[in-house]
């Protein structure tokens, strides 16, 4: 009897072991399935977020590129406006506006600024543009007029020499001539004007407001 009972115990054990093993494997398979599903969902969310970030990044890059384009346009406009200095050293000898004529003792309108200079002093373009005039103008003597962007013009008068001709393109700081004493002038100096053509009229401005560079 003892042996019989022992046989029964021996037969029952493998059955439980098989059941337990299958159960464990099924449990593990279920766990794996759940974790796999969780992982797939996480990857899906991650992919969606990556796409959102990518779209956002593209948007930011596009906005930055637009900003750089605006900056480039502004820099170009700044380069083309008469904002520079027409001489290496600016020593004002007469301001823009009303002034008393020493000879006639009458008040007169001075449409520009006068700077002390002699015939050796180089005169520079105050902004990029095209030479509109390089020749004699009554009263102004030897004169250069540069046409800039947005209807702006700069005028350099009483010169001795010209380095540019009509139609030439210049950049800010390019030498365009030398100062002088030609035209209606009492001594060597540079007469400098800034104006803007608006509705077909030349509107003359105070150059002091423009010389910033």
Task: Name the site residues for Zn ion (rule: CB under 5 A).
Answer: 114, 191
For residue 73, the minimal CB distance to Zn ion (Å) is 34
Question: For residues 148 and 189, which CB has a smaller minimum distance to Zn ion in the complex?
Answer: 189
CA atoms within 13 A on the CB side of 63: 6
Cα 64 to the chain's mean position, in Å? 12
For residue 77, the minimal CB distance to Zn ion (Å) is 28
Question: For residues 80 and 154, which CB has a smaller minimum distance to Zn ion in the complex?
Answer: 154
Distance, CA of 25 to CA of 11 (rounded, Å): 22
For residue 87, the minimal CB distance to Zn ion (Å) is 14
The residue nearest Zn ion at its CB is 191
CB 119: neighbour CB atoms within 10 A? 13
Question: For residues 47 and 108, which CB has a smaller minimum distance to Zn ion in the complex?
Answer: 108
For residue 177, the minimal CB distance to Zn ion (Å) is 16
Question: For residues 128 and 145, which CB has a smaller minimum distance to Zn ion in the complex?
Answer: 145
Q: Rounding to the nearest 10 degrees, give the CA dihedral for residues 113, 114, 116, 117.
A: 100
- The strands making up 122-124's β-sheet, listed across from edge to edge, are 122-124, 175-178, 161-162
């Amino acid at each position: 009897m003892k042996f019989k009972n022992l046989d029964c115990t021996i037969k029952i054990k493998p059955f439980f072991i098989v059941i337990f093993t299958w159960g464990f494997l099924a449990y593990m398979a279920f766990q794996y399935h759940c974790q796999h599903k969780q992982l797939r969902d996480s990857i899906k969310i991650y992919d969606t977020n990556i796409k959102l970030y990518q779209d956002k990044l593209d948007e930011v890059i596009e906005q930055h590129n637009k900003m750089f384009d605006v900056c480039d346009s502004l820099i170009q406009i700044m380069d083309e406006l008469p904002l520079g200095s027409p001489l290496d050293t600016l020593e004002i000898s007469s301001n823009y506006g009303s002034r008393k004529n020493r000879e006639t003792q009458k008040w007169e309108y001075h449409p520009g600024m006068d700077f002390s200079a002699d015939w050796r002093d180089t005169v520079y373009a105050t902004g990029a543009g095209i030479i509109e005039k390089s020749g004699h103008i009554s009263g102004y003597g030897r004169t250069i007029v540069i046409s800039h962007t947005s209807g702006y013009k700069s005028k350099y008068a009483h010169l001795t020499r010209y380095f540019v001709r009509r139609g030439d393109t210049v950049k800010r700081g390019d030498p365009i001539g030398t100062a002088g004493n030609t035209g209606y002038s009492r001594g060597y100096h540079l007469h400098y004007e800034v104006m803007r053509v608006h509705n077909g009229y030349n509107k003359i401005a105070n150059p002091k407001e423009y010389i910033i560079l």
